[in-house]
């Protein structure tokens, strides 16, 4: 699995490629060129690991060295303490008897030990008895009875127990110094690293006690209280016979420490080297496939889809490579499908357009034929109806003899229905003429205020029957509009008739007129009816559409609004409606202001100057108006 290598064949089929192990050219990700050493993943890995390894090695080395220093130094303390205790025990009788030769013999025995640099013996009150040393100490130490102080300055006042007092002794410019700090300082370690020895000695001080146990009161009292000067000043405890100081050289410790430090440094370097080599190896396994993948992605981004993919090792990188390969294959397939689609799409659109055009033509033809049929039928019906109406008028007028009351009432009802039928036929004829393109308008300057007033007066009887009030607000300064007076009156009549019909009794219908933008005049007719639902705002302009909210007893042909809309549009105006359920409806229409250059006659086949304006509640489309 880890050795599988994938590539795209020219046909897009995946295949194994065993020659893809060679590194491919990597396109730099950054626009300014190849990334820096620390900008890429491998460099960061290397740096981080090197830092971590170095810190770990140094910390461990320091800890190990400290442990070793402690152990070795402790061993030195113990050696010094054992030698000192041995010397203290053996020198008791020599001290008691004042036998300096014996003491010197014992001290030289201790000095013979390799790490011992000096041996000092003092009486309990600090008087020197023996002072011998090796190397530099041999010249440094004066021979007793020359005045010599103990190396540890605190010795005369020290309260002894069984624990040796240990301190560090150094050669300084000012002489020999003693300190209770016993470890190596950083400066000492640096000196050791550069190959220099440090003048550091460990001074082990021990008391020389009498052989009498401190628990033996009888013997203790005997030795303690047999002092003639007991009644005088302070006297030291008789159990302390003297003090021994043994100086232990730290040279062996230093040699061991130097060796340890070099070993630790060597180990650190070795670990670093091995660690970095391993890191390079593993980072190579990670970053090379990533870089190849990046290169491939860049080539794909540049539109090259048929590329050799890098090898797919096991693990996350391999998964990523395989996923990328699948994605690439998918893109390639989609690219081919898109190209095929592009090739056939135009032809398909043309074919479909032709189909649509043919269907549209057929529909237009059908519509035309329907309109011709309706027009012819309406016309043929209208003529006998006119004749019927004349005869009915004659009957009612008693031309053919007087009628009984019941007969007259029947005739009147027939006359009313024939009137409604005639009205319907007129509307149908108008609509057919419009749809057949036979409707013409005679454009002239129209005083819209006078026209509205005239229309209101013609419908006043209808308004009076329902107790409605028609409130007209059309300023006298309103500009003349360009339109056919007869058609405009038909428009206003249709809209006002609707408003009166749908307003409740004793309501008010408002008619307002005002100049609109871009050379138009806007007229609004508002009723206080039940309103039109939002979804019906467009459909009410369709022929014969009847809103479901209209009461059943309300009559109408359903042709008034479509005719008004078509007529308005013939005038290059626009008709729309705004309504809220339960709050009434307001129809708006616009008409162009009369200008001298306006043509006298407009036919619907001529180019339309005003785009169709769709209506909806609360908004209206922008219009292209004549200048």
Partner 1 sequence: MRSAPLIACVAFAWLTVVPDVRPSDAAEVAILKSSVLPYYDEAAQGFRAMLPQQVTVTEYNLRGSLSTGREIARTLRADPPSLVFAVGLKATLAAKLELPDTPVVFTQVLDPERYKLPTKQMIGIRVLVSADRQLSTIRELLPHMNRIGLLHDKDAHPEFLSEAKQSASRLNLSLITAPVQSESDVPNALLALRPTIDALWIIQDRTVLTEESVPFFLKTLLDAKVPIFTFSDTLVRQGALGGLVLKPWELGRQAGTQAIQLLRGNTKSFGTLLDPEQSHLVLNLHVAAHLGITTPDTLIRLAGTIYGPGTVAQHSNRDSGIQ
Output 214 or 387, the one with its CB closest to partner 1.
214
Q: Contact between 163 and partner 1 (CB under 8 A)?
A: no
Q: Contact between 210 and partner 1 (CB under 8 A)?
A: yes
Q: Which one of residues 212, 272, 374, 480 is an interface residue with partner 1 (CB under 8 A)?
A: 212
Binding segment (CB under 8 A) for partner 1, from list 107-115, 128-136, 205-213, 562-570: 205-213
Report, in Å, the least distance between residue 93 CB and partner 1.
6
Q: Contact between 157 and partner 1 (CB under 8 A)?
A: no
Task: Give the 3-state secondary structure of residue 601.
Answer: strand
Q: Which one of residues 9, 59, 149, 211 is an interface residue with partner 1 (CB under 8 A)?
A: 211
Report, in Å, the least distance between residue 262 CB and partner 1.
50
- Phi/psi for 195 (5° steps) reads 95, 10
Report, in Å, the least distance between residue 244 CB and partner 1.
17
Report, in Å, the least distance between residue 196 CB and partner 1.
46
Six-digit token pair at 393? 């008028």
Task: Give the 3-state secondary structure of residue 130.
Answer: strand
CA distance linking residue 602 with residue 484, whole number of Å:
10
Output 189 or 241, the one with its CB closest to partner 1.
241
Q: Which one of residues 101, 162, 233, 605 is an interface residue with partner 1 (CB under 8 A)?
A: 233
Q: Which one of residues 139, 146, 174, 218 is an interface residue with partner 1 (CB under 8 A)?
A: 218
Output 217 or 614, the one with its CB closest to partner 1.
217
Six-digit token pair at 187? 């400066």
**How much of the chain is helix, strand and coil, in % rounded to 5?**
50, 15, 35
Angle at 43 between CA 37 and CA 47, to 5 degrees: 115
Q: Contact between 213 and partner 1 (CB under 8 A)?
A: yes
Burial of 20 (0-12, 13-18, 19+ CB in 10 A): middle
Q: Which one of residues 31, 175, 187, 232 is an interface residue with partner 1 (CB under 8 A)?
A: 232
CA distance linking residue 184 with residue 80, whole number of Å:
18
- Which residues lie below 8 Å from residue 561, measured CB to CB, with a gap of 6+? 494, 495, 498, 540, 541
Binding segment (CB under 8 A) for partner 1, from list 5-13, 31-39, 223-231, 352-360: 223-231
Output 210 or 371, the one with its CB closest to partner 1.
210
Buried b (16+ CB within 10 A) or exposed e, 440-465: ebebeebbbbebbeebbeebeeebee
Report, in Å, the least distance between residue 123 CB and partner 1.
14
Q: Which one of residues 114, 135, 216, 542 is an interface residue with partner 1 (CB under 8 A)?
A: 216
Rg (CA), the chain: 62
Report, in Å, the least distance between residue 148 CB and partner 1.
25
Report, in Å, the least distance between residue 154 CB and partner 1.
16
Binding segment (CB under 8 A) for partner 1, from list 70-78, 206-214, 254-262, 457-465: 206-214
CB atoms within 10 A of CB 355: 10
Output 240 or 374, the one with its CB closest to partner 1.
240
Output 209 or 487, the one with its CB closest to partner 1.
209
Under rule CB under 8 A, which residues in 235-294 are in contact with partner 1? 235-237, 241
Q: Which one of residues 193, 221, 390, 450 is an interface residue with partner 1 (CB under 8 A)?
A: 221
State the residue for tokens 């135009």. 346
- Total residues at interface with partner 1 (CB under 8 A): 31
Report, in Å, the least distance between residue 242 CB and partner 1.
12
Six-digit token pair at 52? 């971590």
Q: Which one of residues 101, 162, 181, 234 is an interface residue with partner 1 (CB under 8 A)?
A: 234
Q: Contact between 5 and partner 1 (CB under 8 A)?
A: no
- Which residues lie below 8 Å from residue 299, measured CB to CB, with a gap of 6+? 27, 307
CB atoms within 10 A of CB 431: 22
Binding segment (CB under 8 A) for partner 1, from list 125-133, 214-222, 343-351, 360-368: 214-222
- For 429-542, strand residue ranges (E) read 440-442, 444-446, 469-473, 481-483, 508-515, 520-526
Q: How far is CA 246 from CA 79, 126, 181, 435, 543, in A?
A: 10, 15, 17, 132, 128
CA distance linking residue 166 with residue 379, whole number of Å:
139
Binding segment (CB under 8 A) for partner 1, from list 52-60, 175-183, 233-241, 340-348: 233-241
CA distance linking residue 186 with residue 217, whole number of Å:
51
Q: Contact between 417 and partner 1 (CB under 8 A)?
A: no
Could you write out the three-class secondary structure of 338-363?
Answer: HHHHHHHHHHHHHHHHHHHHHHHHHH
Binding site for partner 1 (CB under 8 A): 92-93, 96-97, 159, 210-226, 230-237, 241
């Amino acid at each position: 699995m880890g050795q599988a290598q994938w590539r795209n064949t020219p046909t897009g089929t995946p295949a194994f490629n065993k020659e893809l192990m060679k590194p491919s050219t990597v396109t730099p990700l950054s626009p300014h060129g190849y990334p820096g050493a620390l900008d890429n993943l491998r460099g960061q890995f290397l740096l981080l690991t090197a830092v971590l390894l170095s810190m770990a090695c140094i910390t461990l080395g320091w800890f190990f060295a400290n442990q070793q220093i402690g152990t070795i130094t402790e061993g030195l303390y113990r050696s010094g303490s054992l030698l000192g205790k041995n010397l203290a025990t053996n020198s008791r009788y020599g001290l008691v008897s004042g036998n300096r030769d014996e003491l010197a013999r014992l001290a030289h025995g201790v000095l013979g030990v390799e790490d011992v640099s000096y041996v000092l013996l003092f009486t309990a009150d600090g008087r020197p008895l023996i002072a011998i040393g090796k190397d530099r100490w041999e010249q440094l130490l004066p021979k007793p009875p020359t005045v010599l102080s103990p190396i540890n300055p605190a010795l005369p006042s020290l309260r002894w127990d069984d624990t040796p007092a240990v301190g560090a002794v150094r050669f300084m410019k000012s002489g020999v110094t003693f300190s209770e700090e016993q470890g190596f300082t950083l400066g000492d370690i640096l000196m050791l690293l550069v190959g220099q020895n440090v003048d550091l000695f460990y001074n082990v001080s021990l008391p020389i006690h009498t052989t009498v146990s401190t628990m033996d009161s009888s013997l203790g009292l005997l030795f303690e209280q047999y002092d003639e000067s007991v009644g005088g000043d302070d006297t030291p405890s008789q159990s302390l016979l003297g003090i021994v100081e043994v100086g232990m050289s730290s040279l062996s410790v230093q040699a061991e420490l130097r060796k340890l430090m070099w070993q630790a440094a060597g180990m650190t370097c070795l670990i670093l080297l091995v660690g970095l080599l391993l890191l390079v190896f593993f980072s190579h396994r990670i970053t090379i496939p990533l870089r190849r993948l990046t290169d491939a992605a860049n080539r794909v981004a540049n539109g090259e889809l048929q590329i050799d993919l890098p090898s797919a090792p096991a693990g996350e990188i391999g998964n990523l490579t395989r996923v990328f390969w699948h994605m690439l294959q998918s893109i390639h397939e989609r690219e081919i499908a898109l190209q095929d689609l592009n090739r056939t799409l135009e032809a398909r659109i043309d074919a479909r357009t032709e189909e649509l055009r043919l269907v549209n033509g057929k529909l237009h033809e059908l519509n035309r034929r329907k309109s011709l049929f309706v027009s012819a039928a309406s016309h043929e019906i209208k003529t006998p109806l006119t004749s019927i109406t004349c005869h009915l008028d004659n009957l009612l007028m008693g031309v053919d003899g007087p009628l009984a009351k019941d007969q007259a009432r029947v005739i009147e009802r027939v006359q009313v229905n024939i009137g409604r039928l005639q009205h319907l036929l007129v509307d149908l004829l108008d609509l057919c003429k419009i749809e057949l393109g036979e409707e013409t308008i005679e454009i002239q300057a129209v005083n819209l205020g006078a026209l509205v007033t005239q229309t209101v007066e013609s419908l006043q009887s209808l308004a009076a029957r329902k107790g409605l009030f028609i409130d007209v607000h059309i300023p006298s300064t309103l500009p003349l509009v360009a339109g056919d007076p007869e058609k405009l009156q038909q428009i206003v009549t249709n809209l006002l008739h609707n408003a009166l019909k749908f307003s409740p009794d004793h309501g008010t219908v408002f008619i307002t007129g005002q100049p609109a933008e871009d050379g138009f005049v806007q007229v609004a007719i508002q009723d206080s009816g039940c309103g039109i639902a939002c979804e019906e705002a467009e459909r009410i302009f369709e022929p014969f559409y009847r809103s479901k909210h209209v009461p059943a007893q309300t009559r109408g042909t359903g042709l008034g609004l479509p005719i008004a809309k078509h007529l308005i549009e013939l005038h290059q105006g626009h008709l729309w409606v705004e309504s809220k359920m339960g709050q009434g409806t307001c129809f708006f229409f616009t008409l162009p202001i009369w200008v001298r250059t306006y043509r006298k006659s407009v036919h619907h086949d001529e180019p339309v100057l005003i785009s169709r304006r769709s209506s909806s509640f609360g908004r209206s489309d922008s219009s292209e108006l004549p200048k």
